[in-house]
Chains A and B, each alone.
Chain A
Amino acid sequence: MSKQTDLTTTTSSKASTKAAKNQITPVTVDPSSRINLLKQKKRLHRIRKLQEWGLFTGYLTPSLAGVMLFFFLPLLMLLKTSFQKSSTNTDFTGFTNYERVLTNEAFKQASVNTLTFALVAVPLAVLLALLLALLLNSGLPGKSVFRSIILNPMMVPVASVVLIWQVFFSYNGVMNGWGVSQLFGADKIDWFKSEHAQLVILILFLWKNLGYNMVLFLAALNNIPGEILESAMMDGAGAIKRFFAIKMHYLSPTFFFVAIMSLINSFKIFREVYLLTGDHPTDKLYMLQHFMNNQFKKLDYSKLSAGAIIMCVVMIVIVGVLFFAESKFDADVEE
């Protein structure tokens, strides 16, 4: 409605100014009408803005409602329970729950394990995937075949290959039977209980995630304009110089993306560990998720929620640092 009225007024005022121009004597436009026009414009603008806001929320509502109900609201509840004595006793106890969690040996061990795994696995996954992408991109025949084969492990559910990993790595497994004892004459070990347990898990992680990261890097490599590489070659830049001066520059956004995806996936390593070794693995493999699961079984909710809040804060810090670094780096790239 308002749109229509506005249209008519604007056209009429335009006509009047046109008529005024035809006359020789300059006609001053009535100031009040001008103010009205401005007001109308402002109103229209406000309506448009409101409309846009309505559309925005309209499209977002299904998601937002769900996210609020299932994530944000419970997080607030969590915050509340983390300060309570227990889930039934709502007395405020300050930070005692946090203290209990932070002094818990299992929690310490679990967070150290999870963090060290992420710190080792993520850079390794990024670098190896980059090397793999460069390898496939170096004029190899049958590139797409290799790509699909290496991407294949990503598709396979963890539960399906657990059996075969056990065949490989358990005490009477293939690794002991073939590799260690026959080639090197070493003693048999149960890999999932030995010092090397994290190494084994690392291999499983790389086996599963290298393909995905590699595809990301391959795409980024293909996106580098060929002319620039060619002209650098003309100027006498060698392969190594070309890589560090040009390709790295174009790959940097992908680096961050791959790092973030690898980080997410590194927290999912619990699946492998759980399916292979159950509820209580060796100390080296005790992940945060194990801690949470075992707390669930004990029904100690206040401790549980304090633990979750701590993890949440740590994650927010990590993510913030990552994004800050990315924005800083991006600014460099655009210069």
Chain B
Amino acid sequence: MDAQLKAQRRRAATLARRHVYTEVPPMTSFFDSMSEGEREAFFKKERIRSARVLRRRKIGKNLRISVCLTIAIAIAIFAIVPIFFTFLNSFMSSPEIADNYGVIFQSLSGHAENGARYLDKTPMLKLVPQKVSVAQYKNLLFMSPTYLLKFWNSIILVVPIVAGQMAVACLASFSFARYRRKRREVLFFSYVILMLMPFQVTLVPNYMISDKLGILDTYWAIILPGIFSTFSIFLLTKYMRQIPSAYIEAAKLDGASEWQIFTKIALPTCKSAIFALTILLFIDYWNMVEQPLVLLTKIDKQPLSVFLSQINEAEIGIAFAASALYMIPPLLIFLWGEEYLVEGISRSGVK
């Protein structure tokens, strides 16, 4: 053992003297011991084996994808069906609706409380209307001004809120992102807490202050607190803090003022976020129920969202059309700005 080691070392030393540091073994091959025929057979076998493995893998992958696809399709159908039904049903004629769904709305909570008994009938949910008619829309648009009024109420509430909140939020979040100090974080944190407060908490203060300011029962009672909601400030600040400070430094060296940094750098970089937030805010306020319910007691001032829940039997004929009409603006906005929305949402969650 010792002698062998010594011999090895000696050999290594000689090699090192000749500047050969690693010994290269003579080339041998796995196939050396095989004859020509054996080699051919071996290759053939290997080829078949690998083809089988590949095939099996492909089948496995296909199987997996098809299972995933079925699940995804099921979920997608679940997601889209209610919307789809609403649209299809909005093209039924009024008598058909009453025929199909009249049963359902007779047993609704409000009626049951008044002592009406449940009527045992099977509903007829129909996907495709028997006769396509635009009678619902015609009734809605030309015969019942209340619906149009509510629709207009919704618009008049939502547009100023979204525009105002975005303007205020852009300024404030720039301030929070650009002039970041430890003590100011406390203020930011209180904003975050305010954002997280559910309506259940903020509605009471809103009510009190609008009562004091004398704007209760006017649109201002909803618009003003809406404008100063801190939700978008939180998200926008998150974006603005992602702006590389090198950009701002470069602009400063070129002699840009703070206002120019705001308008020429901060706003364009956050364009997708601003779009996404605008869309999110629009949906959120288009959807609002809590605020008008408490702050607007006059029924003719309430938006469509509250009103749609108070449909009674006599009006089911146009209810579906009203619902469909109500969801058209957000859906259109979604179709138009989906890319921005997805990008904006995506970037908000990633640090």
A binding-site residues for B, Cβ under 8 Å:
52-53, 55-60, 62-64, 66-67, 69-71, 73-75, 77-78, 81, 114, 132, 135-136, 138-141, 146-168, 170-174, 177-178, 188, 190, 192-193, 207, 210-212, 215-220, 222-223, 253-254, 257-258, 260, 263-264, 267-268, 270-271, 274-278, 281, 288-289, 292-293, 296, 301, 304-305, 307-308, 311-312, 315-316, 319
Residues from chain B with a CB closer than 8 A to the CB of A138 are 64-65, 68
Residues from chain A with a CB closer than 8 A to the CB of B64 are 138
Complex alpha-carbon distance, A160 and B308, angstroms: 8
For A174, the closest partner residue in chain B by CB is: B125
Stretch of B6-14, B35-43, B286-294 lying at the A interface: B286-294
Residues from chain A with a CB closer than 8 A to the CB of B174 are 59
A59-B171, A292-B200, A316-B193 given; A172·B345 CB < 8 A: no
* A254 near B205: Cβ-Cβ < 8 Å: no
Complex alpha-carbon distance, A52 and B286, angstroms: 38
Partner of B334, one of A152, A174, A288: A152
B326 at the interface (CB under 8 A from A): yes
* B349 near A308: Cβ-Cβ < 8 Å: no
Size of B's binding interface in residues, CB under 8 A = 104
A135-B71, A159-B289 given; A148·B82 CB < 8 A: no
Distance (whole angstroms) from the CB of B16 to the closest CB of chain A: 35
In the A-B complex, the 7 residue pairs with the smallest Cβ-Cβ separation, listed nearest first, are A66-B228, A74-B205, A219-B346, A59-B175, A267-B198, A63-B172, A216-B349
Distance (whole angstroms) from the CB of B215 to the closest CB of chain A: 11
B69 at the interface (CB under 8 A from A): yes
Distance (whole angstroms) from the CB of B3 to the closest CB of chain A: 42
For A52, the closest partner residue in chain B by CB is: B179
* A164 near B85: Cβ-Cβ < 8 Å: yes
CB 8 Å contact bits of B201-226 with A (1 = contact, 0 = none): 11111111100000000000000110
Q: What is the interface of chain A mostly: helix, strand, loop, or mixed? A: helix
* A311 near B350: Cβ-Cβ < 8 Å: no
Stretch of B47-55, B115-123, B133-141 lying at the A interface: B115-123
* A166 near B196: Cβ-Cβ < 8 Å: no
* B346 near A275: Cβ-Cβ < 8 Å: no
Distance (whole angstroms) from the CB of B27 to the closest CB of chain A: 28
Distance (whole angstroms) from the CB of B141 to the closest CB of chain A: 17
* A257 near B348: Cβ-Cβ < 8 Å: yes
* B68 near A163: Cβ-Cβ < 8 Å: no
CB 8 Å contact bits of B73-101 with A (1 = contact, 0 = none): 00110111011011001000000000001
Complex alpha-carbon distance, A96 and B347, angstroms: 48
Distance (whole angstroms) from the CB of A233 to the closest CB of chain B: 15
* B79 near A63: Cβ-Cβ < 8 Å: no
A63-B228, A158-B305 given; A172·B107 CB < 8 A: yes
A74-B205, A140-B65 given; A216·B228 CB < 8 A: no
* A271 near B225: Cβ-Cβ < 8 Å: no
CB 8 Å contact bits of B221-250 with A (1 = contact, 0 = none): 000110110100100000000000000000
Which B residues from 231 to 290 make CB contacts under 8 A with A? 233, 258, 262, 283, 286-287, 289-290
* A149 near B201: Cβ-Cβ < 8 Å: no
Residues from chain B with a CB closer than 8 A to the CB of A59 are 171-172, 174-175, 178-179, 262
For A333, the closest partner residue in chain B by CB is: B351
Partner of A77, one of B178, B205, B345: B205
* B168 near A63: Cβ-Cβ < 8 Å: yes
A157-B327, A253-B350 given; A74·B206 CB < 8 A: yes
Complex alpha-carbon distance, A292 and B107, angstroms: 27
Distance (whole angstroms) from the CB of B195 to the closest CB of chain A: 8
Residues from chain A with a CB closer than 8 A to the CB of B340 are none
CB 8 Å contact bits of B329-351 with A (1 = contact, 0 = none): 01101100010011001111111
Residues from chain A with a CB closer than 8 A to the CB of B209 are 69-70, 73-74, 77
Most chain-B CB neighbours within 10 Å: which of A60, A274, A319?
A: A60
Complex alpha-carbon distance, A56 and B176, angstroms: 7
B324 at the interface (CB under 8 A from A): yes
Complex alpha-carbon distance, A210 and B290, angstroms: 22
Partner of B198, one of A155, A190, A253, A264: A264
Residues from chain A with a CB closer than 8 A to the CB of B108 are 166, 170
Distance (whole angstroms) from the CB of B56 to the closest CB of chain A: 17
List 27 A-B pairs, Cβ < 8 Å. Answer: A55-B178, A56-B178, A59-B174, A63-B228, A66-B224, A66-B228, A71-B205, A74-B206, A146-B72, A151-B334, A155-B334, A156-B330, A156-B331, A167-B104, A170-B105, A215-B345, A219-B349, A254-B349, A260-B196, A267-B198, A268-B199, A275-B309, A278-B109, A278-B309, A289-B198, A292-B203, A301-B208
A170-B108, A289-B290, A308-B201 given; A150·B76 CB < 8 A: yes
Residues from chain B with a CB closer than 8 A to the CB of A139 are 65
Complex alpha-carbon distance, A68 and B306, angstroms: 29
* A67 near B194: Cβ-Cβ < 8 Å: yes
Residues from chain B with a CB closer than 8 A to the CB of A161 are 82-83, 86, 323, 327
Residues from chain B with a CB closer than 8 A to the CB of A296 are 207, 294
* B290 near A159: Cβ-Cβ < 8 Å: no
B320 at the interface (CB under 8 A from A): yes
Partner of A254, one of B79, B233, B350: B350
* B206 near A167: Cβ-Cβ < 8 Å: no
* B294 near A212: Cβ-Cβ < 8 Å: no
* A289 near B324: Cβ-Cβ < 8 Å: no
For A87, the closest partner residue in chain B by CB is: B208
For B228, the closest partner residue in chain A by CB is: A66
